[in-house]
């Protein structure tokens, strides 16, 4: 059990919880203290504590006994009944493991809690035109400066709202991002255009502690407020993609990659620990995909297909192996062959009978051409 420090955060000392955790409130309180002592961020603490409360509420008891069985039932409840995402379930697994291992001090061999396989989804990327329309839809100077900084430097929404005036190095044209994700500092470039937008905003509104102060005194603008600003601007710009503020960070990385920037530099700008994380943008970059020609377009360039629709029967090139022959006045060819892309036979010698098409697949043929309902088979 973690000892209670009465001086911690100015709170009164709580009575020590029994070893078996007879109070769920005391159990969650002990978990919060353990998270603080281990240096977990405020957001991670909030997520873990929320999962712990839901887990204990689901069990209906303040005394969880069987780590593996209890956790399995809870995870199946989340997946099958609540039908939440697998990333959400993975967070719940981490929270429950932390509760058992560090608060209830369960032995590690008993914590065989499975994790569901995470979906590998590609990021939704805004095009350069999308970004220009979105920024152009902003009239509020403060909102415009925020979103321009996010796109210009690839910032996370939690990083841009926590910027301070001294973090903007105007002499070196750099932004100092302090204690970003993973409690890491990094330096990114400061766009001249974004700097002008910030100056324009700061001439009318100044905050002493924060570059973008919020409604409450001494507090920065909330992440939720920026998300709302983005959603309104995206709707006004006519962007129908499922995007968020983080999509501007995706666009920053993808557009740099398409412009030829080395992926290792992009990794450092984004603050990724490994290039494997950054490599996901190679899968959505049009630079890599546009370098590959579709085999369908190659057929047209080689003259194997004719017409814009690419439909069969419009090619003027004879089929491979087609016999050469003399063309009669009625359009048939002696010895078989190809005319207009269609295989034809000799016309019947019977008077008044039209020429037959052998295995025709063209318009109006008696076989399986486009005029037939099964022509595509």
Q: What rounded mean pLDDT belongs to the chain?
A: 78
The percentage of the chain sitting over the pLDDT mark of 70, rounded to a whole number, equals 72
pTM exceeds 0.85, yes or no: no
Domain boundaries, the chain: 8-110, 128-284, 322-349
72 is catalytic: no
Q: Which candidate in 176, 181, 231, 236 is catalytic?
A: 181
143 Ramachandran zone, left/alpha/beta (phi>0; psi -120 to 50): alpha
204 is catalytic: no
Q: Which residue has the higher pLDDT, 187 or 65?
A: 187
Structure-token pair, residue 26: 């005391």
* Half-sphere exposure of residue 41: CA atoms within 13 angstroms, side-chain side: 10
304 is catalytic: no
- Quote the pLDDT of residue 320: 46
Quick one: pLDDT band at residue 148, thresholds 50, 70, 90?
A: very high
220 is catalytic: no
pLDDT tens digit sequence for 306-318: 655 545 444 444 4
246 is catalytic: yes
Query: What's the order of all strands across the beta sheet hosting 186-189?
Result: 168-169, 174-177, 186-189
Structure-token pair, residue 16: 């020590």
Does residue 338 have a pLDDT over 70?
Answer: no
Does residue 59 have a pLDDT over 80?
Answer: yes
Q: Which candidate in 48, 151, 201, 281 is catalytic?
A: 281
Q: Which residue has the higher pLDDT, 210 or 21?
A: 210
Q: Which candidate in 156, 162, 255, 333 is catalytic?
A: 156
Q: Which of 144-148, 202-206, 208-212 has the lowest mean pLDDT?
A: 202-206
- Quote the pLDDT of residue 110: 56
Q: Which candidate in 72, 186, 246, 268 is catalytic?
A: 246
286 is catalytic: no
Distance CA 324, CA 336 (A): 8
* Half-sphere exposure of residue 176: CA atoms within 13 angstroms, side-chain side: 10
What is 128-284's CATH number, 3.40.50.10260, 3.40.1360.10, 1.10.443.10, 3.30.420.40?
A: 1.10.443.10
Q: Which candidate in 30, 97, 144, 272 is catalytic?
A: 272
- Quote the pLDDT of residue 179: 84
pLDDT tens digit sequence for 80-129: 899 888 889 999 999 999 998 888 887 655 567 778 777 778 888 999 99
In sign, the C-alpha dihedral spanning 32, 37, 38, 43 is positive
Q: Which candidate in 97, 249, 250, 255 is catalytic?
A: 249
Span 8-110: which CATH code? 1.10.150.130
Structure-token pair, residue 137: 């839809």
């Amino acid at each position: 059990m973690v000892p209670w420090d009465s001086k911690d955060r100015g709170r009164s000392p709580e009575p020590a919880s029994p070893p078996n955790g007879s109070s769920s409130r005391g159990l969650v309180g002990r978990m919060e203290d353990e998270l603080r002592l281990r240096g977990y961020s405020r957001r991670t603490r909030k997520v873990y504590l929320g999962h712990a409360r839901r887990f204990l509420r689901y069990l209906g008891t303040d005394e969880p006994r069987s780590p593996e069985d209890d956790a399995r039932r809870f995870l199946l409840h989340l997946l099958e009944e609540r039908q939440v995402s697998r990333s959400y379930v993975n967070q719940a697994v981490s929270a429950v493991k932390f509760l058992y291992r560090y608060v209830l001090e369960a032995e590690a061999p008993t914590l065989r809690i499975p994790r569901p396989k995470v979906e590998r989804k590609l990021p939704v990327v805004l095009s350069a035109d999308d970004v220009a329309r979105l920024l152009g839809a902003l009239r509020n100077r403060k909102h415009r400066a925020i979103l321009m900084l996010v796109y210009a430097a690839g910032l996370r929404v939690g990083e841009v709202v926590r910027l301070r005036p001294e973090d903007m190095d105007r002499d070196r044209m750099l932004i100092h991002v302090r204690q970003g994700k993973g409690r890491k500092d990094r330096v990114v470039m400061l766009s001249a255009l974004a700097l002008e937008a910030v100056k324009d905003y700061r001439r009318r509104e100044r905050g002493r502690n924060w570059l973008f102060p919020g409604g409450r005194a001494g507090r920065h603008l909330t992440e939720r407020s920026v998300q709302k600003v983005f959603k309104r601007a995206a709707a006004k710009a006519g962007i129908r993609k499922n995007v968020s503020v983080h999509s501007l960070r995706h666009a920053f990385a993808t557009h740099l990659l398409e412009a030829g920037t080395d992926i290792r530099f992009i990794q450092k700008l984004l603050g990724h620990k490994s290039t494997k994380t950054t490599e996901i943008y190679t899968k959505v970059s049009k630079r890599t995909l546009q370098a590959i020609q579709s085999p369908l377009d190659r057929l047209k360039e080689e003259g194997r297909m004719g017409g814009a629709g690419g439909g069969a029967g419009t090619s003027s090139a004879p089929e491979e192996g087609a016999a050469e022959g003399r063309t009669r006045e009625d359009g048939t060819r002696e010895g078989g062959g190809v005319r207009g892309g269609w295989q034809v036979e000799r016309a019947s010698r019977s008077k008044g009978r039209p020429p037959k098409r052998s295995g025709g697949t063209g318009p109006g043929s008696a076989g399986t051409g486009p005029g037939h309902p099964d022509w595509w088979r």
